[in-house]
C-alpha cells in the first residue's frame, strides 16, 4: 500500500499495476512499451492499413505469417530461426507466449532457474502455474558456469537477454556455454529476447548457437517494445525440434491464431526496420538516454547504474533516498516512473533505491519528466531508511 498526503491512496501489487497508474498521465515514463511518435516511414505504413486489411482478408494466413516472421527475424539477425510448421508460433503478446511456455513446462518439471532481477510478470507467470523458482543472479549467469546442484533440480533455465531492466546482454560465448550445460543436464534453455532490437550485441544468430549445442530450447521474441503501434503487436514462441514440451497443444488451447492484419503490419515495420528504421530507433534511444543523463548530471548522490545499456529503459540509482519517496514526489507532479523493488523478485529490498525510466517516448515528454525528477531529487531528503 502506497500513501501520499496529496493524492488518493493507491495500491500496486506488481510492476504492471504501477504502469497502469501511469497510462493516462501526460508524463508516463513508467511502462516499457513504445510511445514515441511514428517516424515518417512508419506513418506511411499506417496510412496504408486499409489496403493491408484488404490484402489480409484474401491471402492465405500461413503465407502472411511466414513472411512476417522472415522479415522480423531477419531484421534482428536471427537467420537460423526455424520455419517448419509449429516451430514459430505467433501469439497476441510475449506474455501470452510466456504463459504458454509455463503451462508446457509444468507438465514435465516442478522448478525453473530464473535470472534475477527481471520484470516481475515472468516470475509471477511461472509461479502462477505452480513452478518453484530458483534465482540465478545476473552476474552469475553471465560470468560463470551454473552449478551442477542447480541444474540437477530444475527443468528449465530462463534468461532474459537483453535483461529488463538492466539491459545486460548475454554474449555469444556465454550463450554457447550455457546451452552446452543445459544439453548436458537435459534442461530446457528458455530465452526472453523481447528487447533485442535495441542492442546490436543481442543480434548474433542465437538460433545457430542453440541448435549447435543440441540442447532443448525455447525463445520468446516480441515486436511490442520497438514500434509505437498502439498495442498492435506479435509475441513469438519458438522452439527446438527436440524440446519435448506440449507447446503447440497449449498454444492451440488458448488461441487459433493472430490477426493477419497485424502480421502484415509487422512485416512492413520490420522491412522498414531492416532498411534503416532499426538503426534510427537505436539512435533515438541513445539520444534520449543522453538527454536524461545530462538533465540530471549535477544532482548530488545519484547514479546511472547500467553504463552500457542500450535498451529503451534506464535505471537510476537515487543514492541514499528511497525510490518510493522519489516516486511519490514526482507522482504529485503528474510524472510516473517505475520503482525497482519488484524487479528483484527474490529480494525486493535490493531494488529499493532504484527507479526505472522509459526512454521510448517523445523528446519533449522525456525532457519535461527529467526536469520534474531533477527538482524532486534535489528536494527529497537523503539519508533515509
Q: Determine if 42 is a binding residue for ligand EGV (CB under 6 A).
A: no
What is the number of residues in the chain? 385
Q: Which residue's CB is nearer to ligand EGV, number 121 or number 258?
A: 121
- Residues that contact ligand EGV, how many (by CB under 6 A): 8
Query: Judged by CB under 6 A, does residue 31 bind ligand EGV?
Result: yes
> What's the rounded Cα separation, in Å, for the pair 13 and 23?
16
Report DSSP state, residue 276.
Answer: I
Q: Which of 18, 72, 119, 269 binds ligand EGV (CB under 6 A)?
A: 119
Nearest to ligand EGV of 47, 230 (CB atom) = 230
Sign of CA dihedral 329, 332, 15, 119: negative
Write down the least CB distance from residue 149 to ligand EGV, Å: 31
Residue 121 in contact with ligand EGV, rule: CB under 6 A: yes
Q: Which of residues 307-366 bind ligand EGV (CB under 6 A)?
A: none
In the complex with ligand EGV, the residue whose CB is nearer, 96 or 170, is: 96
Q: Are 161 and 196 in contact (CB under 8 A)?
A: yes
Under the binding rule (CB under 6 A), the answer on residue 20 touching ligand EGV is no
Of 220 and 368, which CB lies nearer to ligand EGV in the complex structure?
220
Provide the 3-class DSSP secondary structure of residue 360. Answer: coil
Helices (H), the chain: 15-22, 40-47, 49-58, 61-75, 94-105, 121-128, 138-143, 148-153, 172-185, 206-213, 247-254, 260-272, 278-295, 323-331, 363-379
* Binding track over 74-103 against ligand EGV, x by CB under 6 A: ---------------------x--------
Q: How far is CA 60 from the centre of its chain?
A: 31
When the beta carbons of 64 and 373 are compared against ligand EGV, the nearer one is 373
Is there binding between residue 166 and ligand EGV (CB under 6 A)? no
Among 2, 10, 12, 16, binds ligand EGV (CB under 6 A): 16
**ω into 26 cis (within 30 of 0):** no
Q: How far is the CB of 121 from ligand EGV (least distance, A)?
A: 4
Task: Write down the least CB distance from residue 296 to ligand EGV, Å.
Answer: 21
User: CA 100, CA 219: separation in Å to the nearest integer?
Assistant: 12
Report the alpha-carbon distance of residue 93 to residue 223 in Å, rounded.
Answer: 9
Q: What share of the chain is helix, strand, coil (3-state, %, to 5)?
A: 45, 15, 40
- How many whole angstroms separate alpha carbon 146 and alpha carbon 140? 7
Nearest approach in angstroms of CB 190 to ligand EGV is: 16
The C-alpha atoms of residue 360 and residue 43 are separated, in whole angstroms, by 17
CB of 211 to ligand EGV, least distance (A): 28
The smaller minimum CB distance to ligand EGV, of residues 183 and 337, is found at 337
CB of 124 to ligand EGV, least distance (A): 8
- Write out the residues near ligand EGV by the rule CB under 6 A: 16, 19, 31-32, 95, 119, 121, 164
Amino acid at each position: 500500500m502506497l500513501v501520499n498526503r496529496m493524492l488518493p491512496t493507491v495500491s500496486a501489487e506488481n510492476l504492471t499495476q504501477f504502469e497502469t497508474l501511469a497510462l493516462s498521465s501526460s508524463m508516463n515514463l513508467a511502462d516499457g512499451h513504445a510511445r514515441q511518435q511514428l517516424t515518417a516511414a512508419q506513418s506511411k505504413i499506417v496510412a496504408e492499413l486499409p489496403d493491408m486489411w484488404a490484402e489480409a482478408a484474401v491471402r492465405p494466413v500461413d503465407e502472411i505469417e511466414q513472411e512476417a516472421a522472415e522479415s522480423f527475424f531477419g531484421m534482428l539477425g536471427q537467420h537460423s530461426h526455424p520455419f517448419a510448421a509449429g516451430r514459430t508460433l505467433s501469439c497476441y503478446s510475449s506474455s501470452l507466449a510466456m504463459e504458454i511456455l509455463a503451462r508446457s513446462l509444468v507438465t514435465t518439471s516442478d522448478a525453473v532457474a530464473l535470472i534475477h532481477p527481471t520484470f516481475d510478470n515472468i516470475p509471477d507467470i511461472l509461479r502462477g502455474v505452480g513452478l518453484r523458482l530458483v534465482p540465478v543472479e545476473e552476474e552469475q549467469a553471465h560470468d560463470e558456469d551454473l552449478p551442477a546442484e542447480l541444474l540437477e533440480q530444475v527443468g528449465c533455465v530462463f534468461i532474459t537477454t537483453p535483461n529488463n531492466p538492466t539491459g545486460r546482454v548475454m554474449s555469444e560465448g556465454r550463450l554457447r556455454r550455457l546451452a552446452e550445460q543445459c544439453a548436458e543436464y537435459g534442461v530446457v534453455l528458455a530465452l526472453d529476447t523481447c528487447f533485442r532490437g535495441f542492442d546490436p550485441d543481442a543480434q548474433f544468430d542465437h538460433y545457430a548457437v542453440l541448435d549447435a549445442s543440441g540442447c532443448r530450447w525455447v525463445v520468446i521474441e516480441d515486436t511490442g517494445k520497438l514500434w509505437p503501434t498502439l498495442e498492435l503487436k506479435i509475441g513469438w514462441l519458438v522452439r527446438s525440434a527436440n524440446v519435448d514440451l506440449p507447446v503447440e497443444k497449449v498454444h492451440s488451447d488458448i488461441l487459433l491464431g493472430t490477426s493477419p492484419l497485424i502480421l502484415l503490419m509487422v512485416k512492413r515495420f520490420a522491412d522498414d526496420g531492416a532498411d534503416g528504421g532499426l538503426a534510427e530507433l537505436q539512435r533515438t534511444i541513445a539520444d534520449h538516454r543522453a538527454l536524461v543523463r545530462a538533465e540530471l548530471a549535477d544532482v548530488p548522490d545519484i547514479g546511472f547504474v547500467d553504463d552500457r545499456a542500450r535498451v529503451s529503459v534506464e535505471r537510476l540509482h537515487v543514492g541514499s533516498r528511497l525510490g518510493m519517496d522519489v516516486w511519490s514526489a514526482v507522482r504529485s507532479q503528474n510524472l510516473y516512473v517505475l520503482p525497482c523493488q519488484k524487479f528483484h523478485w527474490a529480494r525486493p529490498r535490493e531494488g529499493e533505491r532504484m527507479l526505472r525510466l522509459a526512454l521510448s517516448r517523445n523528446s519533449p515528454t522525456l525532457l519535461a519528466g527529467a526536469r520534474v525528477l531533477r527538482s524532486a531529487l534535489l528536494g527529497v531528503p537523503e539519508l533515509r531508511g
